[in-house]
Chain A
Amino acid sequence: MFSSFGDQARTFMLSQQNALLKNDMERLSLELSSGRVADTSKAVRGDYTGLSEIEEAASALNAYKTSNSEAAMFVENAQSVLGFIQNLTGEAAPALLMASNTNNDQLLSATTGDAKQKLEAIVSAINTQTTGRSLFSGAATDSAALASVDDMLADLSPLLAAETTAAGAAVIIDSWFDDAGGGFEVVAYQGSSSALSPFQIGPGREASFEITAADPGIRGALKGLTIAALISEGAFTSDQNERQLLLKYAGEALLTNENDLSGLRAATGTAESHIEEMRVQNDSEEYALTLARTRILGTDPYTAATELEAVQIQLETLYTVTARLSRLNLVDFI
């Protein structure tokens, strides 16, 4: 038996090695330049559950950030409207009380005129829209919350025509504003009886804003100023005494309403801080997801660079060996 080693075997082995090293180089240069593994499937060993949960959470988080900022703007605007209302009623209440105590006709007409203007300002503020949505209409964000002051007064004043005492007028006005199915709910309030759906401000977290223009706190503010507006329009012009009594009733109503208004503002403030808290949490959640993704798919540039260097040296060695071996054959020596 002779022993020999075929020529093709050597070339076959060298070309296999060459191909392997070149493949490694490709992969390592890709990993080095992009900072992540070249073959995702191999990195997770075929099990994508973790990666898919990260991607789903990241994509949902983006949507929640939009939702959160829209909620924040809505509630912020609502808060400033409530603040505006409270300011105006805070000014109007003492003015009305003072006018009710003095026997000055001019003071009275000036004060009630001013009250009517305040009422119009408040109604218009309540009817403001944020990015096309009504703030205080409940679920019917496409319609205005309140009818105009003129419409309200037009509905209310005929009811007072027959009254002669302030007490009687007060009863009618109370019933118009506060009764379920009364004049306020039928004529003045044009929004929905169902509250706005809660805002989705973060994964699994919602913030509710359920204040509408039909809320007692707002109705109370409107009631006080409406009484003054009715007087300004000419109710009880003949009877100075009754006018003053009615004005006093209006001022006191505004004062007792302050608590309810403050309550509304506090509830809105709570919603605002909750939304802001979730915004911060959403940001840190996003960061955590990025870290998690890098942990699964990222590569260490130092390791990749070192391996690349090693493969390059190996390839150069292979080339030298190939050249040397090709010079070693008997034919050259014969």
Chain B
Amino acid sequence: MSLTSSFSNALSGLSATSRAAQVVSSNIANSLTEGYATRRIELSSQSLAGNGAGVNVEGVFRNVDVGLLADRRVSQAELGNASVLSEFFGELEQSIGIPEDAGSLNSEISALESALIEASSRPDSIPRLEAVLIAANDVASKFKNISDEIQDLRMTADQEIEAQVGFLNDNLKKIEDLNDQILAQTASGRDATALMDQRQSMIDEIAEIVPLKEVARDKNTIALFTEGGAVLLDGRAGEFQFESVSTIVPEMTLSSGALSGISLNGNPINTAAERSGIQGGSLEALFEVRDELAVSAQTDLDAMARSLMERFADPAIDNSTLGGLFTDDGAAFDPLNEVALSSRLAIDASVDPSQGGEVWRIRDGLGAVTSGEVGDASKIQAMIDSLREPLVPSTGSFSTTGRSLNDLSADFLSSIGVQRQSNESDVSYISAKTNALQSQEKANGVDSDQEMQKLLLIERSYAANAKVIQSIDEMLDLLMGL
């Protein structure tokens, strides 16, 4: 009878509107939740034996702009990459120090020069020669400090890689679990949207580490790939292997085997290649810091230390056959042993009273047996001239024109500084892009005004359906009352 069918129509309307109200309440409740995708309810008219018969709830769907999501994740990975590099250069620049700061490499070298000038004015003054010794020691310690800092940065990168790999592995496992649960829920026709929200935020957490591509599979499951083509999750989650070390010294490199590389499911990934499986995110940047950038900074620093040693090893300056004022931990310079030279710079024992030497040897020559004429500043002057002489550095990535020692250290600092500025402008550009994308994503989020409007409509619709039921009830009563 058409009255009963109207009854069931009105009932379906009631259930649809109450379901819609549930969706609205869920949206409003989650209006502040990060990573919540606005729910919308899909309604369609029910068809029963060819006749229209009430309303059918197709389901509750999440409002996700897939393209925007993918773009934002890739942008986050780029940001992670650029931030790691920019932070490395910033820390290194700070460790070297800018020229006007006391304690910077440039100011220590200038201080040595000034101490030599003052000693040349009063070569008879022991306090002034002692000041030269102190200034020289300061230069040697500064080189060591910078070398230590570079290795610390490598160590930090290594530990950070371990942390990120662990995090990545854990998250991929959890995403795999969620995938399975979502599959089960969807297959049995239940609502899996909350689990899908969770899965989305899990993936967002690892988006910075490697740039991801999310590919939809059936029944609301997904597969994950990196932009470089590595398979992170397809049915089963992939697992990364990496081993960190407890200390890092300059001689330890990836190629020497002392440092670990990264592998996925047992297959090694070449992090130095143009296109590697993990390129583009913060993980790749950390490998770049540990294996390329810090290593080349160390090489340049060692080349500078060599230039310093060679300038003072001129026989015209000292009488000795040894290395000169600056030694490689007491020995002369050995070209085969240049790695980490900057961490081993030491002042020759013959001028250091604490090691049994005499400070007047700075004036009279390292091999001098007795003190010479106290008014003779010729060797000190030769040291000053040598510091200032434009010499071409034998190693390192410096230019092939002659540079004084101070200019050489400015070149070193500038090569770091210029890279840092370029990276920082990358960071600010990518930041702006990421913010814009995030902002657009949030624009697709819950709009409480919209939900309130919908609620008004839902209220009216519910009231109307209830009224229909009431009317049909009265009509049936009328019929029964005959």
Contact = CB atoms under 8 A, between A and B. Distances in A.
A54 B443 CA distance: 52
A124 interface: no
B23 to A, nearest CB: 14
B31 interface: yes
A128 interface: no
B453 A133 contact: no
B407 A53 contact: yes
Interface stretch (A58-66, A148-156, A157-165, A278-286): A58-66
A87 interface: no
Contact of A59 (B93, B110, B440): B110
B374 A40 contact: no
A186 B105 CA distance: 51
A56 to B, nearest CB: 5
A7 B406 contact: no
Contact of B118 (A8, A66, A139, A141): A66
Contact of A16 (B31, B100, B121, B435): B435
Given A46-B420, A70-B122, A197-B123, 6 more contacts: A6-B447, A41-B98, A51-B410, A55-B100, A66-B121, A331-B448
Range for the number of chain B residues in contact with chain A? 35 or more
A106 interface: no
A51 B411 CA distance: 11
Contacts of B100: 40, 51, 55, 293, 297
Interface string B84-128: 000000000100001110000011011101110110111110000
Q: Which of A6, A16, A334 has the most CB of B within 10 A?
A: A6
A49 B117 CA distance: 22
Q: Which of A45, A48, A59 has the most CB of B within 10 A?
A: A48
Contacts of B99: 48, 51-52, 54-56
B32 interface: yes
18 contacts: A4-B447, A4-B450, A6-B446, A6-B447, A7-B445, A9-B443, A47-B417, A47-B418, A55-B106, A56-B406, A59-B110, A60-B113, A139-B376, A194-B376, A197-B376, A200-B121, A200-B384, A330-B452
A14 B472 CA distance: 53
B406 A52 contact: yes
B121 A71 contact: yes
Interface of B: 31-32, 34, 38, 93, 98-100, 106-107, 109-111, 113-115, 117-118, 120-124, 373-378, 381, 384, 406-407, 409-411, 413-414, 416-422, 435, 438-440, 442-450, 452-453, 456
A203 to B, nearest CB: 9
Interface in A273-309: 293, 297
Nearest to A196: B375
B120 A329 contact: no
Contact of A48 (B117, B384, B413, B435): B413
B452 A334 contact: yes
Contacts of B416: 46
A334 B28 CA distance: 16
Interface residues of A, number: 54
Given A41-B98, A51-B98, A194-B373, A56 B121 contact: no
Main secondary structure of the interface of B (DSSP, over half): helix
A55 B414 contact: no
B111 A59 contact: yes
A7 B439 CA distance: 11
A47 B452 CA distance: 58
Interface in A190-238: 192, 194, 196-197, 199-200
Contacts of A48: 98-99, 106, 410, 413-414, 417
B375 A138 contact: yes
A20 to B, nearest CB: 10
Contacts of B31: 7-8
Contacts of B449: 329-330
Nearest to B372: A139
A63 B422 CA distance: 37
Contacts of B34: 8
Contact of B446 (A2, A7, A51, A55): A7
Contacts of B406: 52-53, 56
B443 A5 contact: yes
A59 B121 contact: no
B453 A330 contact: yes
Nearest to A66: B118
Contacts of A55: 99-100, 106-107, 110
B411 A141 contact: no
Nearest to B121: A67
Q: Which of A8, A297, A330 has the most CB of B within 10 A?
A: A8
A46 B410 contact: no
Contacts of B381: 197, 200
B375 A8 contact: no
Given A192-B373, A334-B452, A8 B442 contact: yes
B407 A52 contact: yes
B312 to A, nearest CB: 18
Interface in A42-90: 42, 44-49, 51-56, 59-60, 62-64, 66-67, 70-71
Nearest to B447: A4
A148 B118 CA distance: 33
